[in-house]
Structure 1
């Protein structure tokens, strides 16, 4: 076994840091056990017992990976419902929905399953009118044959509608209670198109026959609660501004901002539908790949506004930051990363998060610590240094932290969404920091290789710090901290960590006006990390922002929150999907010009531990 062999072959390293290595291994295994809701017990010092615990943990993780891969496949089975206002003004949009079905199937399914990742796609239609109309609604339940949906829409005639609002609540009720949503569909979507709001004057300022709201007593809170129980993703196709207030209140009931697509122009419908499907699949893959048991979610409300920092309290704490590894061999041999503790930190944290991901929520923050940007903690310093060295010789990464400044530094704090026993333990944050530190190290090596072949763009990773705050005497709050992305340009998710589509990724970045050559660079980086580590690991799940270099040097893609697949599945949890994850990358990967210029083999080499 690689773990036993490593113990025997690294006697020189063990003599220098065996105690730290054993402590860190216990930490890593404990983190996995606690994430799975199991009691790890006391730290293990005996080598034989530790090997046995390592084997048991690896087996536990591999079972979890199998479940995750199965759930990812389930996420690619899609139930899609058109919810359409079918009153007199909506005939062009009904026809647009009909025409979009064929385009969606051609783009995402027929002949391109391996590219889009969609395994099965079913359509349904709910067409609603108003409460007093002779035919208040028409419904087509889910069907796998797109021509059935096309035929239904072809025979659907827009009619009726009395006052300005329509029976939106009736349409939502039918979509959530009458349609037969499949248990096998891991991705469920309602795409709602309307040019009029629901009844109730609090939703609009129009003339309304039911100013007090739905006469049947239905409420947006109850309807969206049903939607959330069914795990349905809701998108809105906006035609005019009359629905703005309705969507604001729907978002509150939904518990998160509702994504709106402009479908005033009929030609936008097909692209909006495709975007909603691929977005939902990506999000559901993100959620399912964590592989964690069901735990209680943190209650929070998203607020996209930057707070008035003068009104926020100063909080005190300390930072933990990892030093870069010295070589790929050290990474493979599991040599513990040196950790630096920085005391007397002072920060301000927004009360509400401004964004959420699959794992964590993100808060705006400012760092008031004057040593935050100094050379000791931000710059690389001169020389390689040694483990345990200090001062300027420490190899602490600097990407995204800038130069020393007396002004506060704008940062982002990230916190896990789950609450409960050990769900926000320090070890979870250490693990995330380790992943990004390793990614930073590999990107640095990659940039040196690409510079030789004339590549003008670099890949850089923000450096994470773990912050430990003390909001009260007996309470600790642990979060991740990194420099905030500031300036122009869009934040782009280039790839995920399992089963992404290069074709769809290229289409997405094209909407941002981004050169597809950049996607080639990003994809080649993942391939190169596998080759550089001789098949031991691969950096994936790449997302970030393209930044210009004002000094006239190489520009960069500044990235955050990567994942690492690794043969040792006890490392880089919970997003490490091991060899299945690496094989999923190669199933989607197409070697590009940069892969060739770097001399990367077109097929994945034989993995070696």
Structure 2
């Protein structure tokens, strides 16, 4: 008998169980994925928290560095502005208006030729001393009152050296008639010039005094205008106008007859202006006189521009009470201290580098001298195998802001730059070493 296969069809209930099983499997799979995802999410959150903390720390450090950088930049900017201000002042001090006031009568021909022949050399020598020199030249020649106005004066307002040379080459000398000349008229023409630069110099060269008995001890025969400016009002007015213009007056003296005139001018000035006299006959030519006159004027102006007031008298300051001992101490009785020594070195760009060194130092107990701001002590410093005697300075004030490190550093840096500039200046050729060659 043949065997028959039996077929039992799936019911709906069987299908539902299978579907539920698949759904459960899917749910389990998803749950596992969720658990793994949560773990991964937790790891990511932890990493994010750490990164955030690191970012905050880095941001804080960066902010601190930025603040420090900004503070440093402000200090550098301020320092640069101060240095630029000094450089500007130095350049201004080398901006010169130089006027020659000269007697243009026959006896003065030699000296007028000196000015003409040496003006180029004079400017070049000055430029070796003052690299930023900006100089303008003017010429006023005076003669006598009896001449027509167009012949009485030769006037060239401030100009360059080439134009100046050409003009002076054409200046004529004339006989005046009497001995005295119209000096006061020449001063009036000087006052009327276009003075502009900060350094204003008048070089007056003459061998005869002004008309008027106030200005000489000569007889009336030597002065056809003996009563000229009897009350001194003209001379007084001219001198005070020069003072107002801040003109430095230098007189090249040739004869003693002009001495009383200069004395009168100084009386008019009432110590508000000096008139420096130089006996120019001792020079082979006027070049040394002119160079030294201009150099001294520039140096004086530079000093005035850079001078700092040592203290403000309106403020009460607490000063140290000390006993002075001018004798150098016996160093064997003074113990040595190991200290950090800070030095600055300056380069050609006036940039200072700070250098630290360890030295042994002995300091006297009492100062031996004092200045306007500081006390000076004897000191003995030893570095490696070298000993050096030094002067150590300390501010006299006792308030907190007087002896801070920054104040000493600023002073040290300024002195380093000043020392560097002084050494550079000393390398420049001196006028005394010049050989004046006369071209034949």
TM-score w.r.t. length of structure 1: 0.43
Higher helix share: 2
> Are 1:85 and 1:127, in contact at CA under 8 Å, matched by a contact in 2?
yes
Equivalent position SS for 1:396? coil
> Are 1:129 and 1:167, in contact at CA under 8 Å, matched by a contact in 2?
yes
Q: Which residue of 2 aligns with 1:168?
A: 183
**Of 193, 198, 213, which residue of structure 2 is paired with 1:186?**
198
Equivalent position SS for 2:96? strand
Task: Return closer, same or farther for 1:445/1:248 CA change in 2, 3 Å cut-off.
Answer: farther
Q: Give 1:56 deviation, angstroms.
A: 10
Note the alpha carbon deviations across 1:465-488, whole angstroms, 9 max, x for none: x9xxxxxxxxxxxxxxxxxxxxxx
Tell whether 2:412 aligns with 1:397.
no
Q: Which residue of 1 aligns with 2:7?
A: none
**Mapping of residues 277-288 of structure 1, within 5 Å:** 277-288=294-305
Q: Give 1:95 deviation, angstroms.
A: 1.0
Note the alpha carbon deviations across 1:560-587, whole angstroms, 9 max, x for none: xxxxxx8833x48xxx847765664575
Partners of 1:137 and 1:148 lie apart in 2 by: 18
Q: Number of aligned pairs?
A: 307
Partners of 1:171 and 1:396 lie apart in 2 by: 57
**Of 107, 110, 130, which residue of structure 1 is paired with 2:144?**
130
**Of 100, 108, 111, which residue of structure 1 is paired with 2:126?**
108
**Mapping of residues 447-526 of structure 1, within 5 Å:** none
**Mapping of residues 411-430 of structure 1, within 5 Å:** 430=372
Q: Which residue of 1 aligns with 2:135?
A: 121
TM-score w.r.t. length of structure 2: 0.58
Note the alpha carbon deviations across 1:412-449, whole angstroms, 9 max, x for none: xxxxxxxxxxxxxxxx9642x44xx37x769x999x97
Tell whether 2:158 aligns with 1:142.
yes
Q: Which residue of 2 aligns with 1:68?
A: 86
Note the alpha carbon deviations across 1:161-197, whole angstroms, 9 max, x for none: 23322111111111112x1122xx2211110000011
Q: Which residue of 2 aligns with 1:563?
A: none
Partners of 2:334 and 2:184 lie apart in 1 by: 66
Equivalent position SS for 1:93? helix
Q: Which residue of 2 aligns with 1:379?
A: 327
Task: Return closer, same or farther for 1:219/1:58 CA change in 2, 3 Å cut-off.
Answer: farther
**Of 86, 103, 107, which residue of structure 2 is paired with 1:89?**
107
Partners of 2:417 and 2:258 lie apart in 1 by: 45
Moved more, 128-137 or 219-228: 219-228
Partners of 1:128 and 1:100 lie apart in 2 by: 21
Partners of 1:73 and 1:130 lie apart in 2 by: 40
**Of 255, 261, 277, which residue of structure 2 is paired with 1:240?**
255
> Are 2:105 and 2:173, in contact at CA under 8 Å, matched by a contact in 1?
yes
Q: Give 1:588 deviation, angstroms.
A: 4.4
Note the alpha carbon deviations across 1:226-280, whole angstroms, 9 max, x for none: 2222221111111111011111222333425422222235623111001111111
Q: Give 1:69 deviation, angstroms.
A: 2.5
Note the alpha carbon deviations across 1:280-326, whole angstroms, 9 max, x for none: 1111111111266xx9xxxxxxxxxxxxxxxxxxxxxxxx8xxxxxx
Tell whether 2:171 aligns with 1:156.
yes
**Mapping of residues 194-593 of structure 1, within 5 Å:** 194-206=206-218, 207=220, 208-214=223-229, 218-254=233-269, 255=271, 256-264=273-281, 267-290=284-307, 339-341=320-322, 377-383=325-331, 385=334, 394-397=365-368, 430-431=372-373, 433-434=374-375, 437=376, 568-569=409-410, 571=411, 577=414, 581=418, 584-585=421-422, 588=425
Partners of 1:205 and 1:445 lie apart in 2 by: 68
Note the alpha carbon deviations across 1:204-234, whole angstroms, 9 max, x for none: 1113333344389753332222222222111
Task: Return closer, same or farther for 1:94/1:215 CA change in 2, 3 Å cut-off.
Answer: farther
Partners of 1:264 and 1:586 lie apart in 2 by: 33
Structure 2 gaps, min length 5 = 1-72, 313-318, 337-362, 397-404, 429-440
Note the alpha carbon deviations across 1:504-525, whole angstroms, 9 max, x for none: xxxxxxxxxxxxxxxxxxxxxx
Equivalent position SS for 1:210? coil
Task: Return closer, same or farther for 1:201/1:191 CA change in 2, 3 Å cut-off.
Answer: same
Partners of 1:93 and 1:445 lie apart in 2 by: 59
Partners of 1:68 and 1:131 lie apart in 2 by: 47
Q: Which stretches of structure 1, 4 residues or more, deviate above 6 A after TM superposition?
A: 55-62, 448-451
Q: Give 1:382 deviation, angstroms.
A: 2.5
Task: Return closer, same or farther for 1:118/1:83 CA change in 2, 3 Å cut-off.
Answer: farther
| Aligned Cα root-mean-square deviation (Å) | 4.5
Task: Return closer, same or farther for 1:169/1:588 CA change in 2, 3 Å cut-off.
Answer: same
